Amino acid sequence: MFLRKTLVAIFGFGLISSLALVQPARASQDILIGGGSVTGVYYQVALHVCNLLNKYNSESYNCVGRPALGSVFNIRAVERGLLDIGVAQSDRNFEAVNGLGEFSGKPQDNLRSLFSMHPETILLVARKDSGISNVSELKGKFINIGNPGSGQRGNAEDVLRLHGLNSDGDIKAEGLQQQEASRALVDKKIDAFFYTVGNPAAAIEEPANSTEISIIPLNSDVIQNFVNERSYYVMTTIPAGTYTGVDNDVETYAVTATVVTNAGASEDMIYDLVKTIFSNLEELQKAHKAFRVLTPESMLNGLTAPFHPGALRYYKEQGWK
């Protein structure tokens, strides 16, 4: 109860009253999945995974997908039992398991993997009239690097550092959540933002449809070397036309969205969830454009935390592990 109360306080939503509305007559297990900003893709992962679980196991589970603060927050919340399941970038998953980056000295030993989802690109989106055409030109500008707890914040810090810039002095760094950052770009309160997200994302479509934007390539030699040294990064291209007004291919790098839980999560629940997802993969693929590329093979790649035993049971049954 304490955890649920804390959670309501954290999210500031009437979670308990909304749960009461959708509670089926028969007792079922409540599951809470945390995503990201409402205009990102993690929230869509949380919603659609829950939709499938509820649809095919309505008597057993009552799964709720909520917006949350992103990768680092979700990993910590899963570790503390505030969330049953969370969505997190593969680079943050790696750092959490190995006690690196924002998890420095604090390896998250209870983190367990379910599966990977869509690829996410590291995006640097600028308003065209800001005149920004490369990373060096961010100097002195108002730049959103992502809210604390987000996965993109670490990516922004990496890109800045690799180009000799410091978020604490060389730029005017903001820490807005993404739905606010997209609006702030249009309102000229910031000049650019970093966001690590699957495409197409509403968070980019909204400003692209309201002002002229450019997506700055992140393909310098220093970035390519950085990517080559890390197994969880790949260079990729965002095709021209993905967003209104961005008529050129944009080269950048990418991570994978991963779905994680706590080692203590019920084995039967995780087995049922994983089985439901893979048995109805076509439905999930159709739920969002970013999910079209999902295959069982891609979904078992890119994970650092060990598989949860419930997931492993299903993968072994399928002969995939």
Retrieve residue 100's tokens.
């690196």
What is the C-alpha to C-alpha distance for residues 101 and 107, in angstroms, rounded to an integer?
A: 10
- Of 129-137, 190-198, 213-221, 262-270: span binding ligand GLU (CB under 6 A): 190-198
Binding residue for ligand GLU, selected from 15, 33, 41, 204, defined by CB under 6 A: 41
Q: Does 90 bind ligand GLU (CB under 6 A)?
A: no
**What is the closest distance, in whole angstroms, from the C-beta atom of residue 313 to ligand GLU in the complex?**
28
Retrieve residue 177's tokens.
């959540």
Identity of the residue, 195 or 307, whose beta carbon is nearer to ligand GLU in the bound complex: 195
Binding residue for ligand GLU, selected from 54, 62, 89, 90, defined by CB under 6 A: 89
Q: Does 103 bind ligand GLU (CB under 6 A)?
A: no
194 forms beta bridges with 124
Binding residue for ligand GLU, selected from 197, 215, 227, 300, defined by CB under 6 A: 197
Determine how many CB atoms are found less than 10 A away from the CB of residue 318.
Answer: 12
Q: Does 93 bind ligand GLU (CB under 6 A)?
A: no
Identity of the residue, 65 or 198, whose beta carbon is nearer to ligand GLU in the bound complex: 198
Q: Does 70 bind ligand GLU (CB under 6 A)?
A: yes
What is the C-alpha to C-alpha distance for residues 235 and 218, in angstroms, rounded to an integer?
A: 9
Binding residue for ligand GLU, selected from 31, 32, 34, 40, defined by CB under 6 A: 40
x/- mask, ligand GLU, residues 134-173, rule CB under 6 A, reads ----------------xxx---------------------
Of 301, 259, 307, the closest CA to residue 49 belongs to: 259
Of 74, 68, 58, the closest CA to residue 25 belongs to: 58
The 3-state DSSP class for residue 121 equals strand
Retrieve residue 64's tokens.
């709720």
**What is the closest distance, in whole angstroms, from the C-beta atom of residue 211 to ligand GLU in the complex?**
21
Of 58, 31, 61, the closest CA to residue 262 belongs to: 31
**What is the closest distance, in whole angstroms, from the C-beta atom of residue 72 to ligand GLU in the complex?**
7
What is the C-alpha to C-alpha distance for residues 248 and 241, in angstroms, rounded to an integer?
A: 7
Binding residue for ligand GLU, selected from 54, 60, 71, 199, defined by CB under 6 A: 71
State which amino acid sits at residue 205.
E
Of 128, 122, 201, 104, the closest CA to residue 162 belongs to: 122
Identity of the residue, 34 or 310, whose beta carbon is nearer to ligand GLU in the bound complex: 34
Residues written for the chain: 321
User: For ligand GLU, how many residues bind (rule: CB under 6 A)?
Assistant: 16
Phi first, then psi: give them for residue 116, nearest 5 degrees: -90, 155
Of 204, 213, 203, 195, the closest CA to residue 130 belongs to: 213
- Of 15-23, 31-39, 211-219, 227-235: span binding ligand GLU (CB under 6 A): 31-39
Positions touching ligand GLU (CB under 6 A) are 35-37, 40-42, 70-71, 89, 120, 150-152, 196-198
